Structure 1
Amino acid sequence: MFHIRIFNHYIPFQYVVLTLVEYWVLVLAVYCAHLLRFPNEAVSVLSFDDPTALKTSLYAVVMLCCTLALGVYEAKIREGFSGVAVRSIVAFFLLGCGSLTILYYIFPSLQLGRGLLTLAVIISLALCLLVRAVFFLLVDSSQLRRRILIWGNGAKALEVIKDIKQSGKSHNLEVVGVVGAQESMHPELDPELLLNIPVSLVEFCKHKKIDEIVVSLDERRRDRGGNLPLDELIDCKLSGVDVMNALEFCEREIGRIELSNLDPSWMLFSDGFKYSGARDVSKRVFDILISLVLILLAWPFMLLTALAVYLEDGAPVLYKQTRVGHKDKLFDLYKFRSMRTDAEKNGAVWAKQNDDRVTRVGAFIRNTRLDELPQIYNVLKGDMSFVGPRPERPEFVKDLKEQVPFYGERHRVKPGLMGWAQLKYPYGASVEDAAQKLRYDLYYTKNHSLLLDILILIQTVEVVLLGKGVR
């Protein structure tokens, strides 16, 4: 699958096309609904002079955001087309109509009208499901799969194959084989994938229609036993075959940075890990605006949550805990208390599944993320950002820095109320989980931008509604 890079974040080109097509399908749906509702009234959704144009654009953008928020496109990978259909119905009728109702209350001049809106949503759902069915049929076609050849002789090559399978990318990527690995060294590797090339690498790539070669060697230097065929790989590049190292391949395709392939020199010279004053200012303005909007919308829920915590388990309602922030600076993080007051009488411990220290109200506010709302104060204060790696406790950070390579690099950006790792990996409660989540935190640290923050903010809706990653 081809990608385009926008503000350092990789987006599959096919999904960009699908988004544009669906935008115009949604516009068409409003136009069709208007014709059915008012057959004798002329309207142009394409004319900027017609007030319907702005209303239609707002409708289309809101519906697209709600579709993204409920993970409709990723649902095809996890749940099949039935998952896409169910999520689309929820996105259009519940989340979409609910969001539009709030916007229409604030900006009544942008309202489509109740009868017109209902008809437009029904037509939109039918047309979008048809478009998505055709799209997924085309994307799943073997003719459109990107054919990958892996050049590697060690565990790193095997890791790339596992990453492709576990991430669900196998529907648009096809691993043709691995060159350089030995079955005796990796018995878990499918023998059919082990290749010996009797001809030149260029000829082999032409014959097998290879689109990309992923270099995943434990050692590249010949004086240390490496077998990187530099001349042949350059010939392949000149003949139109893309050549990429495993680190950048996983970053592009999966949205994470593999620790096993990471070295300090790559972090220093790669395209990323850069300072931008404009980005920092825009991020701070974004944090303040979103925080103020959330306070206006969430204050009734905050009062009810505080009351529920107090009625069940008494005071204190809020829980203050020291966390490690930007550049290892310590700060006090605030949450609604979800555990018993004596939860840590024996010291700091990882939370676990079905933790018996969690109260009944605590379980509910954890599942709905209501316990996190007091952290809006941390965002306004500047200790945290709205989006960033989740902050950990200093007791855990000390051990994690000793056991997990590059763990301290996640502190080069402000911690966040929500993060890329929370979208991509379930709740972590061990050193191994922390290492897995670090791969996604490093991706964010390297590539963070306002666009990526907005995408994470929208996609977090699915996490909150479905209670993902909660213990």
Structure 2
Amino acid sequence: MVRLFKHYVPNAVLLLGVLDFVLLLIAAEAGWQVRAWQIGMETEGLHTRIPQLLSFAIPLQVAMVAVGAYGPGALRSLRFATSRLLVAVSLGIIFLSVIFFLVPAITFWRSNLFYAMIVSVTALIAIRLAAGSIIGGEAMRRRVVVLGAGPQAARIRTLAARPGANFTVAGYIAMDTPQIAVPEARARGAITNLADHVLALRASELVLAIEERRNALPLGDLLRVKTTGVMVCEISTFLERETGRVDLQSINPSWLIFSDGFSSGRLLSAVAKRAFDVIASLALLCTTFPIILLAAVAIRLETPGPAFYRQRRVGLYNQTFEIVKLRSMRRDAEAAGFPVWAAQDDPRITRVGRLIRKVRIDELPQCWSVLKGEMSFVGPRPERPEIVADLTRAIPYYAERHMVKPGITGWAQINYPYGASIEDARQKLEYDLYYAKNYSPFLDLLILIQTLRVILWPEGAR
């Protein structure tokens, strides 16, 4: 894994992204050369077309990230990858048309774009066909040795067996533990020199998965392994890196305190985030006002009652505020007088409500809360005070999600389907804590881009 701006990116994804960007530049140049040859035009040096080449490659690369062309499914299945690439190119054509209309000086002619699109789709599919088994295969996976053979080590074994895993376990080493959950583990007493053993397995990392660390850490062995150049990592940090979430089952308060991160309050980042929120919320409210108005009219025509509704939510530092949303349920949805989570095929949701939920139109009025500073575009979803009180009692560290400003979209929303239970809330909290811990403008941008995937494929909408 490579860490970019505090966010972990798998080696295979980074390599594929670089190859794709190079191919897009080549495709753009090929499209230019073909069109120039057709009309008999003499071409100038490559340096004269750098803005045009970049204006083609960057939007298409962003579209590929947005639709999930670098997700685990795209690395394992050529069919899945091809479908996502076609959607990305279609979105790219729309965006490039807008750029051509607004800033024609930095774009190619439309005829150049046609040829460049054909070349790019062919090249992108070809590279996945030719190198797919390598990029998504064993060669790109890191080899790790797990120190431990209990339930914690078994969790790593389960994670390594999942499709799309970024590592493979080269071996397990059993310490003195009463519970052996990994039978194939080799006993520590049977290994003369731990450092030599790890090197012989060609491992690049040693993961500590010891159940009871008190007076059980082999500090001398770990020091020798570390000085050989092999990374030594404890399980909480390892799981955070490999899963993109903070694992509540393995962490403890000291890990949260002494690990790096939780720097969202830094002045420069906070100013940049707030500036983006103000500009983007104003722009979105202005451009989507007709859509909000049409949805409001449709809601009023279908069911009696107001088109908008206000609801108390818990925000930054546990302060409550009111959000405004388009009403997607019947007016008597909570006639019993207490909050009820939305369920799959919830009968309280109206026909118009089901549609606006799927495409997230009901969330648009929340831009007003963003403009006022009560919310941000990116952050943990704000919950109702009654639900927060229940979840704080049931889930450890739940209160820590309120140390960052809540958002319309977030890391949990793009990685986990809609949840309506305490276990779902626990899973989403792990993603929220990862966001709070590893916040950066880069992560915000990545979440905003990938929100498009959630809108296009709304499997979790309720």
TM-score range, shorter chain: over 0.9
2:144 matched to which residue of 1?
148
Match of 1:313 in 2: 303
Q: Is 1:354 matched with 2:350?
A: no
Number of residues paired by the alignment?
Answer: 456
CA contact (8 A) 1:153 1:182 kept: no
List gaps (5 residues or longer) in structure 2: none
Q: Deviations over 1:39-59 (max 9, x none)?
A: 132445741xx3x32122111
Contact conserved, 2:55 with 2:107, CA < 8 A, in 1? no
Cα distance, 1:7 vs. partner? 2.2
- Which position in structure 2 is the counterpart of 1:19? 17
Note the C-alpha offset of 1:260.
Answer: 1.5
Bigger Cα displacement from structure 2, 275-284 vs 257-266: 257-266
2:247 aligns with 258
In 1, Cα distance between equivalents of 2:332 and 2:125: 51
SS of match in other structure, 1:373: helix
Alignment check: 8 A CA contact 1:25 1:128 kept: yes
Q: Output one character per residue of 1:407-448: Cα deviation in whole Å (capped at 9) or x when no partner.
A: 010100000100001111111111111111111100000111
What is the match of residue 82 of structure 1? 79
- Provide the residue aligned with 2:70 in structure 1: 73
* Counterpart in the other structure of 2:129: 133
- After the TM superposition, which parts of structure 1 deviate over 6 Å for at least 4 consecutive aligned residues? 181-184
Which among 194, 207, 232 is matched to residue 201 of structure 1? 194
Matched AA of 1:338: S
Identity of aligned residues (%): 39
After superposition, the Cα gap between the structure-2 partners of 1:447 and 1:122, relative to the gap in structure 1 and judged at 3 Å, is: same
Of 27, 30, 34 in structure 2, the residue corresponding to residue 29 of structure 1 is 27
Query: 2:297 and 2:75 mapped to 1: Cα distance?
Result: 39
Distance in 1 (CA, whole Å) between partners of 2:42 and 2:362 is 51
Is the counterpart of residue 41 in structure 1 residue 30 in structure 2? no
2:217 to 212, 228, 232: 228
RMSD: 2.0
Which amino acid is 2:115 matched to?
L
Which segment is superposed worse, 425-434 or 284-293?
A: 284-293
Of 149, 165, 169, the residue aligned with 1:175 is: 169
How many Å apart are 1:138 and its aligned residue? Answer: 2.0
2:55 corresponds, among 47, 58, 70, to 58
Shift of 1:183: 10
Inter-partner Cα distance in structure 2 for 1:219 and 1:257: 20
CA shift for structure 1 position 292: 2.5
TM-score between the two structures when normalised by the length of structure 2: 0.93
Against the structure 1 CA distance between its residues 43 and 412, is the aligned structure 2 distance closer, same or farther, given a 3 Å change threshold?
farther
Comparing 156-165 with 309-318, which one deviates more in the overlay? 156-165
Whole-angstrom distance in 2 between the partners of 1:175 and 1:374: 48
CA gap 1:75/1:264 in 2 versus in 1, 3 angstroms? closer
Residue 302 of structure 1 and its aligned partner are, at CA, apart by 1.3
Amino acid at match of 1:303: L
Q: 1:452 aligns with which of 443, 448, 458?
A: 443
Specify which of 255, 258, 267 is matched with residue 269 of structure 1: 258
Match of 1:326 among 316, 322, 330: 316
Equivalent residues of 1:247, 1:257 under 8 A apart = yes
Q: Report the Cα distance in structure 2 between the residues aligned to 1:45 and 1:372, rounded to whole angstroms.
A: 49
Residue pair 2:160, 2:168 contacting (<8 A) in 1 also: no
Q: Distance in 2 between matches of 1:32 and 1:437?
A: 45
**Displacement after TM superposition at 1:182 (Å):** 9.1
Structure 1 match to 2:402? 411
The yes-or-no answer on 1:464 pairing with 2:459 is no
